[in-house]
Amino acid sequence: MELKRRQFVKHLGVVAVFGSVSGQGLAHSLTGTAYPPESKPWIELSKAAYLHNASLINQMAGSRPVMAVLKNNAYGLGVVQVAEILNTSNSVLGMAVVKDESALAIRSAGVTKPVLLMNDFDTSLAQELIRQDITLSIYSRSSLKKIRQMVGSATDTVKVALYVDTGLGRMGIPYRETVRLAGEIANAPGLSIEQTFSTLTTPRDFAQEQIVRFEEVIKNLEKKGISPGLKHLAPSYSLLDLPGSHQEAVRPGILLHGSFPMADMPEAKQYPLKIPYRLKAPVIRLEKLKAGDTIGFSRFYKVKKDEWIATLPIGWADGYDSGAENGAKVLLGEELYPVVNVNASHTNVSLGEKTRVNVGDAATLIGPDRAEITPEGFGKLVNRHNYLQINYKESIPKRVYETF
Ligand SMILES: *Cc1c(COP(=O)(O)O)cnc(C)c1O
């Protein structure tokens, strides 16, 4: 146990964001052994791995810079922490978010690179967004009207981006109307077009048609003397699939977090991304259940012979994929153990007939440490998609390390 205490102290030494621990001493289990006082799940982030990934994506895109997509709380990993890390990357030109409050939060945290809001915003935040130099998307005629109304009272020039719908069909100015609307924007006082962007779909033929539409829009803007600013099109899949999508910058999300958008993409070998995070949770209960006992409301898992069952305080309500109970593993010490049950707030792991695991030991549910617990490895074990690994609740604390 002493070793564990030392490891824990060492742990503290490299942690930059670790507010929750100060003031708490090491707790003691019933058997008198010391264990770290974690009682909830947490996420660890590696700065070095994020910077490595950003630089690799820059290579994938023929040296184009990255507009890092940090939507959905940076894919569940912590928008503020990930933005702070990427703000130091030479490969990252700017960041794109879909929530107005995320745009403001990353500015408050000291992000100096351009921040693009790819969505609507709350009118009450409008002046603050302008003051904080957030680039606002114009994605429809009504969004232009809303921004023009705000500009009236703003003293600064408002940076805007033309969000063009070339065929995704859910957001953006329809490409046939973009040039006309851009004419109105260019003539409006106080607005400056800084970026023009669209999003590609995955089917290659149609994505190619979308690129043609986009480039046609750009050509016609330029003919009218309207500068489109920075041009970008490509989410992760297109940037790998279609070099024509690279434009002046690429706009990946999932690749930054170390996952390819689909399993077994051939580029994965050429570009070894790193999984820059770990999802961890402590063992809070350890009991030897008897043959015939069951676990869970639905009695999902039936104990076949006496075995140690660990309980982790994380469940599907925290964003851990409930499919884990169909074959996923977690790492405890040097060993992988099967997940046998996932409820809303708890996960159970089978440790077998004998165990050296203790209450307080930290389990890694997702991380770079073993193939079976990477997002892709997890997806393979339980037949789920990579992207499901990114629903983690915002309330899960983040710890930022230089490297791991
Ligand atoms: C989500 C999103 C991206 C990034 O998608 P990934 O597949 O995660 O790379 C890029 N652009 C837009 C507009 C998006 O909504």
Which band of pLDDT confidence, cut at 50, 70 and 90, is reported for residue 37?
low
Asked if the structure places residue 17 within a domain, the reply is no
What is the rounded CA–CA span in Å between residue 297 and residue 257? Answer: 34
Query: Buried b / exposed e across 200-229, counting CB within 10 Å, b at 16+?
Result: bbeeeeebeebbebbeebbeebeeeebebb
Tell me which of 100-114, 153-167, 180-194, 203-217 is least confident.
153-167
For residue 370, the tally of other CB atoms under 10 A from its CB is 15
Q: Is 236 within 8 Å of 262 (Cβ atoms)? A: no
Query: CA neighbours within 13 Å on the CB side: how many for 163?
Result: 24
Query: Buried b / exposed e across 99-138, counting CB within 10 Å, b at 16+?
Result: bbebbbbbbeeebebbbbbbbbbeeebbebbbeeebbbbb
Tell me which of 25-29, 107-111, 240-244 is least confident.
25-29
Confidence at residue 119, expressed as pLDDT on a 0 to 100 scale: 98
What's the start-to-end Cα distance of the chain, in Å? 23
| Domain region containing 336 | 276-401
The two tokens of residue 319 are 């964003």
Domain harbouring 314, CATH code: 2.40.37.10
Q: What is the mean predicted confidence (pLDDT) over 24-34?
A: 43
Domain shared by 114 and 227, yes or no:
yes
Which band of pLDDT confidence, cut at 50, 70 and 90, is reported for residue 29?
very low
Asked if the structure places residue 30 within a domain, the reply is no
Average pLDDT, the chain: 90
Domain shared by 89 and 130, yes or no:
yes
d(CA 169, ligand 1 centre) in Å:
14
Question: Is ligand 1 within 6 A of the CB of residue 4?
Answer: no
Domain shared by 305 and 397, yes or no:
yes
Q: What is the mean predicted confidence (pLDDT) over 202-231?
A: 97
Evaluate if residue 121 carries a pLDDT over 80. Answer: yes
d(CA 26, ligand 1 centre) in Å:
42
Domain shared by 177 and 248, yes or no:
yes
Domain shared by 98 and 217, yes or no:
yes
d(CA 252, ligand 1 centre) in Å:
6
Domain harbouring 185, CATH code: 3.20.20.10
Domain shared by 105 and 66, yes or no:
yes
Q: What is the mean predicted confidence (pLDDT) over 31-46?
A: 73
Identity (one letter) of the amino acid at 69?
V
Domain shared by 65 and 122, yes or no:
yes
Domain shared by 153 and 285, yes or no:
no
Q: What is the mean predicted confidence (pLDDT) over 283-289?
A: 96
Asked if the structure places residue 94 within a domain, the reply is yes
Q: Which residue, of 258, 284, 313, is where some domain finishes?
A: 258
Which band of pLDDT confidence, cut at 50, 70 and 90, is reported for residue 26?
very low
Question: Is ligand 1 within 6 A of the CB of residue 118?
Answer: yes
Confidence at residue 154, expressed as pLDDT on a 0 to 100 scale: 62
Q: What is the mean predicted confidence (pLDDT) over 290-312?
A: 94
For residue 285, the tally of other CB atoms under 10 A from its CB is 12
d(CA 365, ligand 1 centre) in Å:
25
Asked if the structure places residue 200 within a domain, the reply is yes
Q: Which residue has the higher pLDDT, 220 or 391?
A: 220
Q: Is 2 helix (H, G, I), strand (E, B) or coil?
A: helix
Confidence at residue 24, expressed as pLDDT on a 0 to 100 scale: 37
Taking only the tens place, the pLDDT of each residue in 48-82 is 999 999 999 999 999 999 999 999 999 999 999 99
**Which atom of ligand 1 is found nearest the CA of 199?**
13
Confidence at residue 153, expressed as pLDDT on a 0 to 100 scale: 65
What are the CA-CA distances from residue 355 to residues 280, 288, 305 (Å)?
Answer: 20, 10, 14
Q: Which residue, of 258, 292, 318, is where some domain finishes?
A: 258
The two tokens of residue 150 are 């705000």
Question: Is ligand 1 within 6 A of the CB of residue 71?
Answer: yes
Asked if the structure places residue 3 within a domain, the reply is no
* Beta-ladder partners of 366: 279
What is the rounded CA–CA span in Å between residue 152 and residue 139? Answer: 20
What is the rounded CA–CA span in Å between residue 83 and residue 116? Answer: 13
Evaluate if residue 357 carries a pLDDT over 60. Answer: yes
Query: Buried b / exposed e across 10-36, counting CB within 10 Å, b at 16+?
Result: ebeeeeeeeeeeeeeeeeeeeeebbbb
The two tokens of residue 363 are 């389990």
Q: What is the mean predicted confidence (pLDDT) over 132-145?
A: 97
Q: Choose among 326, 301, 300: nearest CA to 380.
A: 326
d(CA 37, ligand 1 centre) in Å:
38
Q: Residue count of the chain, please give it.
A: 404
Domain shared by 252 and 281, yes or no:
no
Q: Which residue has the higher pLDDT, 232 or 37?
A: 232
Question: Is ligand 1 within 6 A of the CB of residue 117?
Answer: no
Confidence at residue 12, expressed as pLDDT on a 0 to 100 scale: 39
Confidence at residue 388, expressed as pLDDT on a 0 to 100 scale: 66
Q: Is 312 within 8 Å of 338 (Cβ atoms)? A: no
Q: Which residue, of 224, 258, 292, is where some domain finishes?
A: 258
Domain shared by 60 and 198, yes or no:
yes
d(CA 63, ligand 1 centre) in Å:
19
Domain shared by 247 and 295, yes or no:
no
Beta strands 115-117; 329-332: pairing state = unpaired
Beta strands 277-282; 362-366: pairing state = antiparallel
Q: What percent of the chain has pLDDT over 70?
A: 89
Domain shared by 251 and 280, yes or no:
no
Q: What is the mean predicted confidence (pLDDT) over 227-234?
A: 98
Asked if the structure places residue 1 within a domain, the reply is no
Q: What percent of the chain has pLDDT over 90?
A: 81
- Torsional sign, CA 347, 352, 358, 363: negative
Evaluate if residue 360 carries a pLDDT over 60. Answer: yes
Counted domains in the chain: 2
Asked if the structure places residue 38 within a domain, the reply is no
Asked if the structure places residue 37 within a domain, the reply is no
For residue 39, the tally of other CB atoms under 10 A from its CB is 13
Question: Is ligand 1 within 6 A of the CB of residue 338?
Answer: no
Evaluate if residue 20 carries a pLDDT over 80. Answer: no
